[in-house]
Amino acid sequence: MSKKQQLQVLEKAVKNYPDFPKEGIIFRDIFGIMQDVHALQALRDLLVEHVALMDIDCVVGLDSRGFLLGPLLSVELAKPFIPIRKKGKLPGKIFSENYVKEYGEDTFEIQASGIKGKKKALLVDDLLATGGSMSAAELLLSKVGVNVVECLVVMELKSLNGRSKIKAPVHSLLKYD
């Protein structure tokens, strides 16, 4: 299957929910891809092809859908997977970063033991919207001495201009206005 065909399979599998979570919003649900084995295989193939030659020390995934994609890439690249979680979910010594969301503030955390010795990361999540969580994760990693080589997402909502908040290059498979 060509790359164009794989992207069409993904596009078709994404479920759209108008007026969710509030009126005027179209919620694009990645779980439609996860529920369709052919779409999931196309997603895996596209992601793996994109990162195959990337020079990184680790794959970092954002809570929570980055946890679905990150380990898959981690195995393919033979690099460790490191989760960035919301506050209070990780044991041991942690580093944290506060950030502003659409409905208030939140905090991301990463375990010191997991990131020790790492210098170059691939940052993975399902969606880039406003860029708040991705930029907070990028800042958190930079504070602990890790350079984000690239931010990789399945979907990007271009009209929200989240890309402008992120210093690292961004690669998105599906782009919506």
Decide: 63 and 125 in contact? Cβ < 8 Å.
no
Side chain identity, residue 7: L
17 - beta bridge partners?
27
- Is the Cβ–Cβ distance between 27 and 171 less than 8 Å? no
DSSP reduced 3-state for 104:
strand
User: Which residues form the catalytic set?
Assistant: 65, 102
- Other C-beta atoms lying within 10 Å of the C-beta of residue 92: 8
DSSP secondary structure code for residue 115 in this structure: H
Most distant CA pair in the chain, distance: 46
Beta strands 81-86; 147-157: pairing state: unpaired
User: CA-CA distance, 141 to 148, in Å (whole number)?
Assistant: 7
Between CA 32 and CA 54 the distance in angstroms is: 28
Residue 75 host element (H or E): helix 66-77
